[in-house]
Copies of this chain bind each other. A is one copy, B any other.
Amino acid sequence: MNFKHLKTFIEVANCKSFSVAATRLHTVQSAISRHINALEEELGISLFERNTRHVALTASGEVYFAHAKAILNHCEQAKNDAQLVAQGKLGVLRIGYLSSACAHFLPSVLRRFNEFVPNIDVKIFEMTAAQQLHAFVEGSIDIGFSRPIDYGYDGLIRHKHLSNDPIYLVVNDSHPLAQKNTARLTDLTPYSLTLFARDQASSLFDTIISAFHQHEIRPKVHSEPISMQALLTQVASSQTVALVPGCVRNLQTKQCCFIPLDIPLFTPLEMHWTASPSATAKTWLHWCEQDINLEKETPSHSPS
């Protein structure tokens, strides 16, 4: 079988004449005749009831006609879809994100992106920075939102700085420090420190520790919870203190008190992608550049 045969068949069925179909297809009548005969031979049935004066589809011809049109449409669809995928206008975009840092802006951003390219199926995965790095290496996400990640080797991963999230002291609301308007790091020395686990968020951990070192303080580390919500529960239920990104206030924070620090201490929020991004990732990056200014979307340092 052959697409040319199908096209010829459809044309003959439409104009009910071999010779008219020939001129419409810019060929000669004998070619049409042979195409139809070849099709009929292959199918083992006759598609047209014809003599030298009349051409009409048989019942089988009618059925085959409907199928033939659908098949050609399907071919066009296949071509179109493949091209859209290549252009990054159709497909899947997998985004890893740090829940505490992104939950407040990601939904609105993704909704606007979906309006821009409705045929990209955005799948989001809550992941720590370390998990995102691993996911990039094994190719299971296209875009990541997290604190800076420790990509040891060559330029596999690219990034863009989005915002600086100021770090706050957090204590329970009956804690002696809860009354202060701003806190100094030295205020914390009497208390044991709850510190977010390093393997979950190395950047935050290192920022905090190096700040203490700069002030020549050796904090007493009490515990290292692996989720921000667990950290807040720990703080709320004990006299320990903690240092957390301001965006954490978007979580459930009953009985916790956030106090600004007297020094500028920030943890950055970044967007990451690979050096050879997928087509959908390219579409995302292009959209981010021209349509959206993500920095404006992440006002995490505005006091609440």
Q: Which A residues are closer than 8 A to B by beta carbons?
A: 1-3, 42-47, 58-64, 67-68, 70-71, 74-75, 77-79, 81-83, 85-86, 90-91, 278-279
Contact = CB atoms under 8 A, between A and B. Distances in A.
Contacts of A58: 86
B83 A78 contact: no
A164 to B, nearest CB: 35
Given A3-B3, A74-B67, A279 B59 contact: yes
B59 A68 contact: no
B70 A82 contact: no
B45 A64 contact: no
Oligomer: number of copies: 2
Contact of A82 (B2, B60, B81, B82): B60
A59 to B, nearest CB: 5
A74 B77 contact: no
A63 B86 CA distance: 10
A43 B83 contact: yes
Contacts of A91: 59, 63
Nearest to A58: B86
Closest 9 CB pairs of A and B: A67-B78, A45-B86, A64-B82, A60-B85, A60-B86, A60-B82, A63-B85, A63-B81, A71-B74
